[in-house]
Amino acid sequence: VENESIGVTINGHGLNAEVATSTAGLHCGLAFREELPADHGMLFVYTQDQVLRFWMKNTHIDLSIAFLDSDGVILEMHDMDIDNPTRQFISGKPARYALEVNQGWFADNGIKVGDRVEFNLQSNAAAFGN
């Protein structure tokens, strides 16, 4: 699945984020990969605020996820482990975006709830409904 790649900045820390350009890319996310390079992640883009659900099925990399509001402000963050593939991580309130990174990246860079994720979406990066 081919995804777009965009630059993301949080508190001056840069990240190379993939953005799904198809429903298949959105649903696959980071599943089936053996590694995620340092300072890389995936941004999931939705057309409207909604309760988001993520899990680690078929994912081989421990990840951290942040749920973001429509302004890119981090609402909540969770660590997701590969040893619990069916556990669902559900946003506590409707969110517009989700950002997955290598587990510990947010903590290592001092990123917290309330911080703003800055990015510009390319024209061919798709947004998805339910």
Q: Which structure tokens are listed for 86? A: 């069916």
The reported pLDDT for the residue numbered 26 is 84
Higher pLDDT, 128 or 58: 58
pTM of the predicted model as reported, rounded to 2 decimal places: 0.92
Contacts of 30 (CB under 8 A, 6+ apart): 36, 42, 59, 61, 63, 100
Q: How confident is the model at residue 122 (pLDDT cuts 50, 70, 90)?
A: low
Nearest C-alpha neighbor of 5 from the set 109, 128, 124 = 124
CA distance 49 to 9: 21
The reported pLDDT for the residue numbered 110 is 97
For the residues 95-118, what does the mean pLDDT come to?
A: 97
For the residues 101-129, what does the mean pLDDT come to?
A: 87
Q: How confident is the model at residue 22 (pLDDT cuts 50, 70, 90)?
A: confident
